[in-house]
């Protein structure tokens, strides 16, 4: 199989899992993040990005792993350990950038994977293992820094206050939250209309992610086109980007509780859209991380953390 065929297979497998969750009334991108926040590579200390962050968070919860830290097979060996017998790794995705001619040799990707400069993004898959799937290494994890409710809200407000210039105007009033691209304004109900301050900020994050698509920022709307109904392709993708981007910001600020309501119609709508486009969730997660990174500089390079050194177990 070439790179794109492997990518399509991963997309189908992941989308199947997401749809199965939706049919049980669960939404992968609404899942709360654990105490350690975004999943990390234990060897490098870097956060995983985009789709990988969402999927590894889901895998951590699904299998009851103690922490969202992962390693490649080679990194396990370099640290003097072994993958436990019978353990199955998790596929994650990395994109390599080529010009069009180079990309054709690497897998023949479509224009969907080409940017406006004619560069092609070719997917490559890697397998990682959670540290709970490894033996022979004495893993040293950093202490969990629990935040009080006030600290979480203060962190949320810093994200809002430090939105890069030019920032959209945030207005309050009415009972609906939305972003108006033409006016570049975010409309929010008053805080008292929300069940909690966390729910208010999660909703505000959703609208601020939308705002990153403006021409003065990431110019995502020019790439994706415009649509105004949930069933429309571009509208659905943009909504998924906003929901996933808001989830990243919730993880970044420390919001852990599920703050979104999942109606039957909402769940059925996403099942239908994902069945039609098996790659939508992966592409949306990539753009969502880019949007969150724009707001808070949430990049792998700047998120590198020094972890305690692992030692080979005696």
| pLDDT score recorded for residue 78 | 96
Say whether 72 sits in a helix, a strand or coil.
strand
Higher pLDDT, 266 or 161: 161
Q: Which helix (H) or strand (E) holds 91?
A: strand 90-99
Nearest to 118 by CA among 127, 128, 109: 109
Give the per-residue pLDDT at 34.
78
Q: Which pLDDT belongs to residue 16?
A: 94
Residue 41 pLDDT grade (very low, low, confident, very high; cuts 50, 70, 90): very high
pLDDT at 17 over 70: yes
> Residue 302 has what pLDDT?
46
Q: Phi/psi at 228 (nearest 5 deg)?
A: -130, 15
The better pLDDT of the pair 312, 24 is held by 24
- Model pLDDT, residue 297: 83
**168 band by pLDDT with thresholds 50, 70 and 90:** very high
The H or E element spanning position 298 is none
| pLDDT confidence of residue 102 | 56
Could you give phi then psi for residue 25, rounded to 5 degrees?
Answer: 85, 15
163 pLDDT higher than 60: yes
Q: Give the model's pLDDT for residue 37.
A: 81
Q: Which two tokens stand for residue 68?
A: 């969202």
Q: Taking 70 as the threshold, does the pLDDT of residue 80 lie above it?
A: yes
| pTM for the predicted model, two decimal places | 0.82
Statement: residue 235 has pLDDT above 90:
no
Per-residue model confidence (pLDDT) at position 230: 40
The whole-number average pLDDT for the span 263-280 is 89
Q: In the prediction, which pLDDT does 211 show?
A: 97
End-to-end CA distance of the chain: 42
**Between 41 and 224, the higher pLDDT residue:** 41
- Segment 34-38 shows an average pLDDT of 82
Report the Cα 50 to chain-centroid distance in Å: 4
In this structure, what token pair is assigned to residue 180?
Answer: 């108006």
pLDDT above 90 covers a percentage of the chain that reads 58
Query: Is residue 180's pLDDT more than 70?
Result: yes
Q: DSSP readout, 154-193?
A: HHHHHHHHTPPSSPPEEEE-SS--EEETTTTEEEE--GGG
Q: What is the DSSP string of 94-143?
A: EEEEEEHHHHHHHT---GGGB-TTSEEEEEEEEEEEEGGGEESEE--PPP
Task: Provide the token pair at 72.
Answer: 């490649």
Q: Residue 71: helix, strand or coil by DSSP?
A: strand
How many Cα neighbours within 13 Å face the side chain of 253? 30
Q: How far apart are CA 293 and CA 303, in angstroms?
A: 10
Percent share of the chain, pLDDT over 70: 83
Q: Is pLDDT above 80 for 127?
A: yes
Residues 6 or more apart whose Cβ sits within 8 Å of residue 14: 51, 55, 281, 282
Residue 86, pLDDT > 60, answer yes
For 53, 88, 159, 197, 236, the CA distances from 154, given in Å and listed in that order, are: 24, 40, 9, 11, 31
Whole-angstrom Cα distance, residue 48 to residue 230?
A: 29
**Residue 228's pLDDT is what?**
47
Query: Is the model's pLDDT at 292 over the cut of 50?
Result: yes
């Amino acid at each position: 199989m070439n790179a794109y065929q492997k990518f399509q297979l991963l997309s189908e497998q992941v989308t199947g899992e997401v749809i199965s969750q939706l049919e049980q009334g669960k939404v992968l991108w609404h899942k709360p993040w654990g105490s350690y926040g975004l999943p990390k590579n234990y060897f490098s200390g870097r956060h995983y990005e985009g789709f990988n962050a969402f999927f590894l968070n889901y895998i951590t919860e699904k299998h009851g792993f103690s922490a969202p830290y992962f390693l490649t097979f080679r990194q396990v060996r370099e640290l003097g350990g072994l993958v436990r017998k019978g353990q199955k790794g998790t596929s994650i995705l990395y994109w390599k950038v080529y010009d069009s001619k180079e990309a054709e040799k690497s897998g023949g990707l479509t224009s969907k994977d080409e940017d406006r400069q004619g560069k092609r993004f070719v997917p490559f898959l890697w397998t990682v293992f959670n540290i709970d799937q490894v033996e022979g290494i004495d893993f040293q994890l950093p202490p969990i820094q629990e935040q009080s409710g006030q600290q979480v809200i203060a962190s949320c407000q810093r994200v809002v206050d430090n939105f890069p210039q030019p920032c959209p105007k945030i207005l309050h009033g009415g009972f609906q939250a939305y972003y108006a691209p033409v006016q570049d304004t975010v409309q929010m109900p008053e805080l008292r209309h929300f069940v909690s301050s966390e729910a208010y900020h999660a909703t505000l994050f959703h609208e601020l992610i939308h705002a990153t698509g403006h021409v003065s920022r990431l110019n995502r709307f020019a790439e994706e086109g415009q649509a105004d109904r949930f069933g429309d392709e571009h509208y659905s993708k943009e909504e998924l980007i906003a929901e996933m981007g808001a989830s990243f910001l919730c993880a970044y600020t420390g919001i852990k509780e599920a703050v979104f309501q999942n109606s039957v119609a909402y769940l059925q709508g996403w099942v239908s859209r994902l069945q039609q486009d098996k790659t939508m969730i992966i592409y949306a997660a990539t753009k969502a991380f880019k949007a969150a990174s724009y707001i808070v500089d949430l990049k792998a390079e700047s998120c590198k953390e020094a972890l305690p050194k692992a030692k080979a177990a005696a």
